[in-house]
Amino acid sequence: MVAANWKNLLILQTSFLGDTVLTLPLIAEVRRRFPVGRLTLLCQPMSRELLQDHPVIDEIIIDDKKRGDRGWQGLRAQAAVLSAKKFTVALTPHKSWRSALMLYLAGIPTRVGFRQSRGWFLFHQRVLRDGARHDVERNLSILEAFGVRPEQCEREIVLPVSPKVQAQVDEKFRALGVLGSKPVFGINPGSVWPTKRWSADGFARLILMLRQKFDCQVVLFGGAEDGAVANEIVEGCDSAATSLVGHMSLRELPAAIGRCRVFISNDSGPMHIAVARRVPTVAVFCATTPALGFYPYSEHAIVVEKQLSCRPCTPHGGRRCPLASEDCIRLIEPEMVLQAVEKLFHRAPPSMDAPVTGFVPEFVTV
């Protein structure tokens, strides 16, 4: 067991947005359990925008590793920034060589990471990363270095929204004619990886079914990179959905998703944000599989997937289908997703004030 000085803690997570959201239980547990004086998160720019209002994080440092901070010079410059801040402990669930080397060059006296890290030998304490567990639990297992097991931790993903940001979002909704008496169904059709995206045609057909089945409004979420697919979906459903692409910043996204009665999403960061806001979630898994440990960490969720021997084609999903069939996308029918939406819609919605009782979703595999 490591003895640590918790005066000045750094948590490094420079992976994708969704991975950073899944690190929030670790961040909250460290703050709750140990005498942390100051807690700093090192992350990518998108994660910084999303988490800038989080109450347990004192400071966020950006690592723009794909642009301004890329390469050896960027790594050394970042290490110098960290060194100047005199961190006493560094924890990282990120397994890259760059992350381990940065913490080593910063001279942080207590460094903890995973044995499976490419720079494992640069950590003072190394913890086994169990690939069979959900990523929330894998991240929490970093604390085994201090005698704390994931089962002893509070594992809920919590992403608070400030009243000011919520008011801004509600005003935008009203201006777009969204927020009213009808239930709102949110759809996130994007993903960094193309093979993780369900088809635009599938989403468009689902929207028409939702509008016919429920007296509801349907809104599309996404960043600027999702504009083309959002437009294709809106055209495919004869404008039966409202596109919020370009209308919501990442800072506003949790507040906007929180207004949805049910959220339908690909395997992506917004899916995890919906879970953090306790919104019932239907997750469509195409190239990736829940067994990788990134399924919606909530009993108020349903995963829809097609059973195929070729899945997962890669741990993240690929740029293109290696078999050129896209069966994992093409063979998921809108009727399957609609049934999952109906099931969640007719349950009592979870309350933000009630304790979380379960983290395992329902799986619908055909």
Q: Is 216 exposed, middle or buried (0-12, 13-18, 19+ CB in 10 A)?
A: middle
| pLDDT over 80 (residue 78) | yes
Calpha distance 322→340 (Å, rounded): 29
**What is the band of 159 on the pLDDT scale with cuts at 50, 70, 90?**
very high
In the chain, % of residues over pLDDT 70: 100
- Residue 190 DSSP label: -
Ramachandran sector of residue 11 (left: φ over 0; alpha: ψ -120 to 50; beta: rest): beta
Residue 75 to residues 72, 141, 330, Cα–Cα distance (Å): 5, 27, 42
122, two tokens: 């640069």
Q: Considering only 96-100, 171-175, 239-243, 353-357, which range has the smallest mean pLDDT?
A: 353-357
| pLDDT over 80 (residue 70) | yes
**What is the band of 357 on the pLDDT scale with cuts at 50, 70, 90?**
confident
Name the residue among 119, 125, 91 with its Cα closest to residue 1: 125
253, two tokens: 């996204």
What does the pLDDT average to over 233-259?
95
What does the pLDDT average to over 75-93?
97
The pLDDT value recorded for residue 11 is: 98
| pLDDT over 80 (residue 1) | no
pLDDT tens, position by position, 119-157: 999 999 999 999 999 999 999 999 999 999 999 999 999
- Residue 110 DSSP label: -
Q: Is it true that 8-151 and 167-365 share their CATH fold? A: yes
Q: Considering only 15-29, 77-91, 317-331, which range has the smallest mean pLDDT?
A: 317-331
| pLDDT over 90 (residue 348) | no
Ramachandran sector of residue 211 (left: φ over 0; alpha: ψ -120 to 50; beta: rest): alpha
What does the pLDDT average to over 302-327?
92
Is residue 44 within 8 A of residue 158, CB to CB? The reply is: no
**What is the band of 316 on the pLDDT scale with cuts at 50, 70, 90?**
confident
Longest dimension (CA), the chain: 61
Output the CA torsion 292→296→302→306 (10° steps). Answer: -30
Is residue 230 within 8 A of residue 243, CB to CB? The reply is: yes
The pLDDT value recorded for residue 134 is: 98
| Helix locations, 157-304, DSSP H | 163-175, 200-213, 227-236, 253-257, 269-276
Calpha distance 50→20 (Å, rounded): 10
The pLDDT value recorded for residue 335 is: 97
Cβ neighbors of 355 (< 8 A, separation 6 or more) are none
pLDDT tens, position by position, 172-208: 999 988 877 899 999 999 998 899 999 999 999 999 9
- Domain 8-151 carries which CATH code? 3.40.50.2000
- Domain 167-365 carries which CATH code? 3.40.50.2000
pLDDT tens, position by position, 212-244: 999 899 999 998 889 999 999 999 999 999 999
Provide the sign of the torsion angle of the four alpha carbons 318, 45, 63, 91, taken in this order. Answer: negative
Domain ranges of the chain: 8-151, 167-365
The pLDDT value recorded for residue 266 is: 97
